[in-house]
Amino acid sequence: MGMGASGGKSKSRATLSEINVTPLVDVMLVLLIMFMVTTPLMQQGISVDLPKTAASGVEMKEEPFVLVIGPDQKMTIAKARITMEQLRPKLKAIFENRKDKQVYIQADRKVDYGFVAEAMAEVRAAGIFNIGLITQPKDQ
C-alpha cells in the first residue's frame, strides 16, 4: 500500500517539474511584433507643438516667452540680441524659476529651416520641451 501511494506522488511531480514554454513563446512573439510596429513610429529629432491657426488664441497665466528670429538670422529675446552660443545658458537662467516652461519661436519665412531647427534644439537642450511656432492665419 505504501508503494502505491509513493508511485502516485512521483507521477504528479514529474508533470509539475516540466516547464511549459508555449505561453512564454507566445508572449515573446507578441512583444516582438509590438516592438516591430512601434519602432518606426518613434520620431527622431525635435517634436514641435504647433499652435492652431484657426483658434482665437491661448490664455496664459504668465507673459509668453518669445524668441524672435529675423530674416538675417539674428535672434532676439525681449528686444536684446543674442547669439546661438548664448541661447542655452540664457534660457536656463531665465526659466530656472518660471513655472510655465514654454517658448514661442517667431521666425521670418526667409530664415533657413536648418537654423530654426538648430535654435529649437538649443531650446530643448536648455530643458524646455514645450515649443510653439508663431504663425499668421492665411487670410492676413
Residue-wise pLDDT for 14-72, tens only, equals: 556 677 888 899 999 999 998 888 877 665 444 433 344 554 555 556 678 889 888 88
Residue-wise pLDDT for 83-130, tens only, equals: 999 999 999 988 888 877 889 998 888 888 899 999 999 999 998 888
Instruction: Compute CA distances 13 → 5, 19, 69, whole Å.
Output: 13, 12, 75
Cell readout for 8 is 502516485
Cβ atoms of residues 79 and 71 within 8 Å = no
Class of domain 65-133: alpha beta
What is the structure's pLDDT at 118?
93
Cβ atoms of residues 63 and 99 within 8 Å = no
